[in-house]
Structure 1
Amino acid sequence: MARLLTPPRILIALAGAASLVAGGIAVSQIEQGDRGVAPIDSTSSYEIGGVTVDVSGKDADTARAGGWREAQRKGWRMLYARVHGVPFAAAPRLPDSTLDSIVAGIVVEDEQISARRYIGRLGVLFDRGRAGALLGVGGQVRRSAPMLTIPVMWSGGAPQSFELRTQWQQAWARFRTGGSPIDYVRPVGTGADPLLLNVAQSRRPGRAWWRMLLDQYGASDVLVPEVSIKRSFPGGPVVATFTARHGPDGTVIDRFVLRTETSASIPRLLDEGVRRIDVAYADALRTGGLYPDSMLVEEPAIEDALDTAAAETAASDAADTAGTSFSLEIDTPDAAALTATEQTIRSIPGVRSFSTSSLAIGGLSIGRVLFQGDAAALSIALGARGIRAEETGNNSFRLRRTTRDAAPAAAAPPAAEPGPTP
């Protein structure tokens, strides 16, 4: 297990088997018992892992301090490159005094110390508020809608999710989600979790039961990361096949294979699998492949079974007078953007009503508009007001604001007429 150590001028907790709180960072570790793994709270920090250093010094302590300094420098450039999507070489450098003020901790993943040399693979934790100001993101990044995460592990030919504590669940609990654009909802695995979020539920396509579960856990969609472990012999090589699934239908986002030579390295192997699956989900979010299913956030219309013919006639007449209902997926980085988009939509001629059914600040909000016209007319009307509408099928649109309507300039007060000359 990774150790959380103290960098220069910053005091943080050592990672052990207990939960500690230091510098506002709550670190939750594995609970006692056969079930349940409390996830690490990383909402107040960014994490960069896998920073390799090789530093020499006059003694072991000097070499270690130099290694941590080098990890801070490299970690900052890696964080900047990941947030802004630029190469590592293009990331700016910061002085050590500034890095000391924004680094919240050093996580030792692996280290080798000799009399005058320090070799290690480290992780660096950056304070979200202080580092966000230097990154130019205000401490926040664009995130997805809340995603209920059900890790499934196949071992020995049998699958498990939350029925028993697994190494795959522990790996997801160790993963720090603060720097990820995916808003993971990670259940602990205690109470009713083993009954509600089992392997059978992860393969059930029915939307009705999923809607109940998502409302129960405060999520808008579901992610099912899977791993299949195959051992050559006890203690020998291990081959793991990772699959990133999305939605009730289990759509495969990515699949890859990792290998380790000894069973003792399985935790590190699973940590790398979690990291790569997170990258796959983040890429899918950027390319538009991780949108919530509209049937998961809205109840289908129910017809009156007592008089089907009358209901169909009334619905047809209402459609002619009121218009057609369209589902809208709206980028809402903040509350002001959602308010501006709502005002723009309501100002379109032919819009009868508009409501927000799912609010996700920093992600995708789901809205419903009643428009007297067809899809092409609505798309043209939105484009004329600086909103690009991409049709996703089944009367659904993905909205992106291309231009921001400039606020009308305040009218200058009329000049006072000169009075009579005395």
Structure 2
Amino acid sequence: MTFADRLFRPFPLSILCVALFAAALAFAQLERADERGVPPIDGSGSFEVDGIKVDIAARTADQARTAGWREAQRKGWKMLWARVNGKPLENAPGLPDSTLDSISGGIVVEEEHIGPNRYIATLGVLFDRARAGELLGVKGAIRRSAPMLVIPVEWSGATPVSFERRSEWQKAWARFRAGNSPIDYVRVSGTGADPVLLNAAQARRPGRGWWRMLLDQYGAADIVVPEVTLFRQWPGGPVIGKFVARHGPDAAVIDSFTLTAENGDALPAMLDRGIERIDRAYTRALQEGSLRTDRSLVVETPAAEVPIDDVLAEMASAATSNITIQVETPDAGALRGSETALRGMTGVTGVQTSSLALGGISIFRVSFSGPAAAFREALVARGWQVEDVGGGYRIRRGGSQPAQ
């Protein structure tokens, strides 16, 4: 057989099938990778008020929309004030539009209908936590849980899905605004290695070693697994969702309930309501003290043993420091004032006058419970100017000129 015959002879059918199968598998993997990942839309700590209904008429559509958004800010502020302070809506103070513009972080359009001269909508308002907190009488600090890694699992058609592909349950958790919740949710986007590490099988795996690796990987300390099982009655008909809030590596049940959507179009709204109830269940468990981290997930490094004699010797050496202080004393009043100021400092156990020089520099010997560096910082905090001189400190009040 010549070289040309070998070059142009047909390939075996088996090799051709293997090549086509490999190409199809690679294309399917690329196509499936595009279907993964839903990044969370909001990770800020803004106050959110939703469900605000407005109905505004104006000369033009733009004027009606602008007036509707301003009306939503006014109503949203009063609703937020009443919710935070636990008082009726009528007692909420009014704020000018300029102030509301400065504390408002954005408008969320839930539903709107725009006409030539009318605007009807259901809106939500985001308020900046730092700016609005001062007007609300709170600083925005609330009790927060440990960082909780979220693995949402959706059962549909007897098949569990987490991050293996995009699901309505994952989308609902991505659009959930977790800033208002005391639960510190750690939500992942579902790209990269997430579908492999955080799949539905991992949610029921009891092995603590693998869980500890995942928590370290994602910067979390505990796990929550919110589950939903969808039952579709018939195509285009009602959808029943059974929700279960699980916690920890053993999937302990915190709460369970059932919601119903009229049809497939109402499914996202039902899932949003389910997340709100699950969040309230986790919050209630946190307040009751039952949302505790499993000790088997925490690896504690034992502290090195130190002989008690070394500890006592170190405590005795660091118990009291004798510090030499030089102070300008132009008169007797300045002398008494400086001595009184030194005696009144926290940690000072004694002040002795080693050298008295009215009109010059007097020297005190101060006994301080702690290191000399801590005493120096305490002097600076009280407004003294401190200079290191001769193994001690020379101090004078801020703004005064040093003595010649």
Q: Structure 1 vs Structure 2: percent identity of aligned residues?
A: 60
Deviates more, 1:186-195 or 1:47-56: 47-56
CA distance in 1, matches of 2:292, 2:74: 36
Q: Does 1:68 align with 2:69?
A: yes
Which residue identity does 2:204 align to in structure 1?
R
Contact between 1:210 and 1:296, CA under 8 Å: does it hold in 2?
A: yes
* Deviation (angstroms), 1:139: 4.4
Give secondary structure in 2 for the equivalent of 1:131.
helix
Match of 2:230 in 1: 229
Match of 1:146 in 2: 147
Contact between 1:130 and 1:139, CA under 8 Å: does it hold in 2?
A: no
Q: In structure 2, do the counterparts of structure 1 residues 139 and 32 end up closer, same or farther at CA, with 3 Å as the change threshold?
A: farther
Match of 2:44 in 1: 43
Give a deviation string over 1:54-109, Cα, whole Å, max 9, x none.
33445544433332222212222333344445554454432222111111211101
Give secondary structure in 2 for the equivalent of 1:142.
coil
Which residue identity does 2:196 align to in structure 1?
L
Match of 1:311 in 2: none
Deviates more, 1:181-190 or 1:66-75: 66-75
Match of 1:203 in 2: 204
CA distance in 2, matches of 1:274, 1:89: 30
* Deviation (angstroms), 1:40: 1.8
Which residue identity does 1:254 align to in structure 2?
D
Give secondary structure in 2 for the equivalent of 1:54.
strand
What TM-score results when the alignment is normalised by the length of structure 1? Answer: 0.60
Question: What is the 5 A alignment of 1:166-181?
Answer: 166-181=167-182
Which residue identity does 2:211 align to in structure 1?
W
Which residue identity does 1:73 align to in structure 2?
R
CA distance in 2, matches of 1:156, 1:254: 23
Which residue identity does 1:53 align to in structure 2?
V
Larger Rg: 2
CA distance in 2, matches of 1:52, 1:83: 20
CA distance in 1, matches of 2:95, 2:287: 29
Q: In structure 2, do the counterparts of structure 1 residues 90 and 284 end up closer, same or farther at CA, with 3 Å as the change threshold?
A: farther
Give a deviation string over 1:279-299, Cα, whole Å, max 9, x none.
222222222222222222235
CA distance in 1, matches of 2:91, 2:204: 44
Contact between 2:204 and 2:249, CA under 8 Å: does it hold in 1?
A: yes
Which residue identity does 2:240 align to in structure 1?
V
* Deviation (angstroms), 1:220: 0.8
Which residue identity does 2:105 align to in structure 1?
A
Contact between 1:203 and 1:249, CA under 8 Å: does it hold in 2?
A: yes
Q: Greater helix share, 1 or 2?
A: 2
Which residue identity does 1:94 align to in structure 2?
L
Match of 1:27 in 2: none
CA distance in 2, matches of 1:220, 1:101: 36
CA distance in 2, matches of 1:208, 1:82: 43
Question: What is the 5 A alignment of 1:401-412?
Answer: none
Which residue identity does 2:251 align to in structure 1?
G
Match of 2:78 in 1: 77
Contact between 1:152 and 1:159, CA under 8 Å: does it hold in 2?
A: yes
Deviates more, 1:38-47 or 1:166-175: 38-47
Give secondary structure in 2 for the equivalent of 1:178.
helix
Contact between 2:45 and 2:180, CA under 8 Å: does it hold in 1?
A: no
CA distance in 2, matches of 1:87, 1:296: 44
Q: In structure 2, do the counterparts of structure 1 residues 87 and 254 end up closer, same or farther at CA, with 3 Å as the change threshold?
A: farther
Give secondary structure in 1 for the equivalent of 2:290.
coil
Contact between 2:153 and 2:228, CA under 8 Å: does it hold in 1?
A: yes
Q: Does 1:165 align with 2:153?
A: no
Q: In structure 2, do the counterparts of structure 1 residues 56 and 44 end up closer, same or farther at CA, with 3 Å as the change threshold?
A: same
Superposition RMSD in Å: 3.2
Match of 1:283 in 2: 284
Match of 1:406 in 2: none
What TM-score results when the alignment is normalised by the length of structure 2? Answer: 0.62
Question: What is the 5 A alignment of 1:212-251?
Answer: 212-251=213-252
CA distance in 2, matches of 1:286, 1:86: 22
CA distance in 1, matches of 2:211, 2:68: 48
> How many correspondences in the alignment?
284
CA distance in 2, matches of 1:292, 1:87: 37
Question: What is the 5 A alignment of 1:79-98?
Answer: 79-98=80-99
CA distance in 2, matches of 1:32, 1:120: 37
Which residue identity does 1:46 align to in structure 2?
F
Give secondary structure in 1 for the equivalent of 2:179.
coil
CA distance in 2, matches of 1:130, 1:282: 25
Give a deviation string over 1:282-331, Cα, whole Å, max 9, x none.
22222222222222223599xxxxxxxxxxxxxxxx9xx99xxxxxxxxx
Match of 2:129 in 1: 128
CA distance in 2, matches of 1:220, 1:295: 11
List runs of 5+ in structure 1 lacking aligned partners.
Answer: 1-30, 302-317, 323-408
